[in-house]
Amino acid sequence: MPEAGGRRPLVAANWKMNRGAPAEARELAAAVRRELEALGLDPGRPGEPEVVLCPPYTGLAAAGEALARSGLELGAQDLDPRPAGAFTGGVSAAMLLGAGARWAIVGHSERRLVYGEDDAAVQRKVAAALQAGLRPILCVGETAEERDAGRTEAVVGRQLAAALAGLEAAALGRLVVAYEPVWAIGTSRAAQPEDAAQVAAFIRERAGRWLGGDAAELRVLYGGSVKAANAEGFLRQAELDGALVGGASLEAAEFAAIVAAARRRGGWGA
């Protein structure tokens, strides 16, 4: 079994506002599938990493068609926590499930910083996703100023506490947390693997304490300028269970190489 308490590695691709036209989404999803198959990787096979692709809303259905019967899973980049109503532009959890998504990224720093989402909004989205049957990938992380001030754990702890409010211990097995330091996202500046692992350990310990469950169930990813060249260093860390990949996920071969690094982690696969 893997060293990290039996937690299955997970690699998620966040395409952000790219490749959202149906033809583009279908093409990239199909290319990822081909690259993984060429490396002998099958996410549907026991012992392999879990792989989730998160295209824009407009590409969900087309990407899902390209992933059919592949073992790869589909996720959304956000959701509206309300079930229905007069909310122009909103996309509910039920709509995402209907489009084939089984995962949703929640609280990404770009949603917090660019769109003004606060901790309370993130909490509502986590709760709505879990209630509907979507699996949330909750993003937490500090800015460069907060890091330089020595406030990483204070900031991450606050974001985590707010997002977990009202949840029960059973959520630990359905929730994934991605530690994404804001200063590392889209900057080509990644955290040091040991530092990221230390924050991951903090996240797992606090989540288990607050929810009263088995913290070993909770998967924690690293995100922030992850590439094939540096993925191995992060994935060697026992506290890190995979990666949330941004820009590098737009290149099928590069992304597949990161998945291959996840397979080598902690005794999973060859």
Count of CA atoms in the C-beta half-sphere (13 A) of 209? 9
Angle of helix 193-211 relative to helix 228-235, nearest 10 degrees, comes to: 50
What's the CA gap between 214 and 100, in Å, rounded?
30
Least Cα distance to 7 among 261, 215, 164 occurs for: 215
15: helix, strand or coil: coil
Query: Please, which residues bridge with residue 74 across strands?
Result: 53
Annotation says 239 is catalytic: no
Task: Give residue 123's Cα distance to chain centre.
Answer: 16
Give backbone dihedrals phi and psi of 113, rounded to 5 degrees, phi first: -85, -40
Catalytic residue of the set 35, 73, 110, 180: 180
User: Is 168 annotated in the active site?
Assistant: no
Strand pairing of 10-14 and 50-54? Answer: parallel
Crossing angle of helices 252-264/22-38, nearest 10°? 40
Q: Which of 108, 110, 142, 239 is catalytic?
A: 108
* Residues in a beta bridge with 76: 104
C-alpha to C-alpha distance for 120 and 159, rounded to whole angstroms: 9
Amino acid code (one letter) for 54: C
- Residues marked active site are found at 108, 180
